[in-house]
Amino acid sequence: MKALCFCFQVHQALRLRQYRFFDIGNEHYYYDDYTNENIIRKLADTCYLPANAVLLDLLIALKGKFKISFSISGLALDQFELYAPEVIESFQKLATTGYVEFLSETDSHSLVSLKNKAEFIKQIETHSQRIEDLFGQKPQVFKNTELIYSDSIGETIAELGFHGILAEGAQHILKWKSPNYLYCNSISPKLKVLMRNCKFSNDIAWGFNFDGGLTTERFVANLNQLDEKEQIVNIFLNYETIGGYQSKETGIFDFLRYLPETVIRDSEFKFAKVSEIVSNYQAVSKIQIPVPIACVDKEQDLSPLLGNHIQNEALNKLYELNASIVKINDARLNKDWRFLQASDHFYFMCTKPFTNNNIHNNPFSSPYEAFINYMNILSDFKICLKEKDIPKITSTSES
């Protein structure tokens, strides 16, 4: 059987407010609530709610012939709970169909897999429990932030009992191999590795702006041109593509509405959830990836996230605080700690000229402004940690 696996990433950055040098030590609230609420409310109306409504109709009508998977970040869930709880309810309706799967990821949508194994595991366990509480599913497959993957990251995921992990189908890794097979981790072969098909994913992400626009017929015709032996196509893309990056006027909702029917009618492909791919297919070989890859940019590496000295400086200074966070274990500081780890903050510091910051709604006019703003906040956060770490001195008076 040929399988078509659709997995959508749902994530929105938690944007920081303009934080000046003179705020350090005086103002301990770091977030731009107005902007965050406006963005979530806009996307709820243009993307999440209408797209989920289309999917719900399809899932009910096609009765198991159409299946889909989601990876929803902890930061997205936080903002839905604050600003648009009906979005969570709409995802819960999808879950009740039995044809939707929810994956685990890092709760903070962070880069912690590159810095601290204990914190990495903690975030995964937190997020997995949250998904189980909200959607009644214990995740079996893991998706790291921006599809960051390496052999050692996969080894950790296998240790946690996951059966599969998503990874970018990076050409410099695959070389002559195809992403349209199931692979396994080179250290822990029991962990299956699903490689993203970049071409088919990007056709949906950007294909509505070129060559007359993408149609379901054209998409399925391209599927049918694949080699007969290639039996798995993994489509991983941002959910905000539907109604967000690609507006309703492009025809993206019609594409979503009619694609399942066209695939079923005109191809040999069957829709499958990620865990079904892992369970029903055998890995053809190990995939060796000693250096982390990602799906952030065309180089398919970490350069948009950690490609310059200011990004590395900010990330290193952040994780130097990990031991203090664990020691102090203060509820408010733990919350700030979660939010400050989000990968978006480091992406906003990217100096690569061809990186499309508009897609990520970069609120800063330059990467250096993003860096200074973040480091100002981190300086105040360190002050708060030190204040909490000072032993309280109690005095007794003689009676």
CATH code of the domain containing 267: 3.20.110.20
* Residue 308 located in a structural domain: yes
Q: Report percent pLDDT > 90 for the chain.
A: 88
* Residue 365 located in a structural domain: yes
Indicate if 277 and 309 belong to the same structural domain. no
DSSP H or E stretch at residue 195: strand 192-195
For residue 131, what pLDDT is reported? 98
Indicate if 234 and 129 belong to the same structural domain. yes
Indicate if 270 and 333 belong to the same structural domain. no
Q: In which region does residue 210 sit, left (phi positive, over 0), alpha (psi from -120 to 50) or beta (all else)?
A: beta
Last residue of a domain, one of 235, 252, 287: 287
Indicate if 246 and 385 belong to the same structural domain. no
Indicate if 151 and 183 belong to the same structural domain. yes
pLDDT band at residue 212 under the 50/70/90 scheme: low
Which amino acid belongs to residue 75? L
For residue 111, what pLDDT is reported? 98
Q: pLDDT tens digit string along 341-364?
A: 999 999 999 998 754 444 456 889
* Residue 278 located in a structural domain: yes
* Residue 50 located in a structural domain: yes
**Total of domains in the chain:** 2
* Residue 297 located in a structural domain: no
Indicate if 62 and 170 belong to the same structural domain. yes
Indicate if 247 and 327 belong to the same structural domain. no
Indicate if 42 and 153 belong to the same structural domain. yes
DSSP H or E stretch at residue 72: strand 68-72
Give the range of the structural domain holding residue 356, as residue numbers without chain letter. Answer: 303-389
Residues forming a β-bridge with 31: 16
Indicate if 170 and 33 belong to the same structural domain. yes
Q: pLDDT tens digit string along 255-297?
A: 999 999 999 999 999 999 999 999 999 999 999 999 999 998 8
* Residue 350 located in a structural domain: yes
Q: Catalytic residue numbers?
A: 146
Stretch 142-157: mean pLDDT, rounded? Answer: 98
Q: Is this prediction's pTM over 0.75?
A: yes
Which range is least confidently modeled, 90-94, 174-178, 312-316? 174-178
Indicate if 172 and 311 belong to the same structural domain. no
**Residue 63 CB neighbour total at 10 angstroms:** 9
Burial track 362-399 (b if 16+ CB lie within 10 A, e otherwise): bbbeebeebbbbbbbbbebbeebbeeeeeeeeeeeeee
* Residue 82 located in a structural domain: yes
Indicate if 281 and 322 belong to the same structural domain. no
Stretch 177-205: mean pLDDT, rounded? Answer: 96
pLDDT band at residue 309 under the 50/70/90 scheme: very high
Residue 238 phi, psi dihedral angles, 5° rounding: -70, 135
Q: pLDDT tens digit string along 64-120?
A: 999 999 999 999 999 999 999 999 999 999 999 999 999 999 999 999 999 999 999
Indicate if 250 and 333 belong to the same structural domain. no
* Residue 85 located in a structural domain: yes
Query: Mean pLDDT over all residues of the chain?
Result: 93
Q: How far apart are CA 246 and CA 263, in angstroms?
A: 21
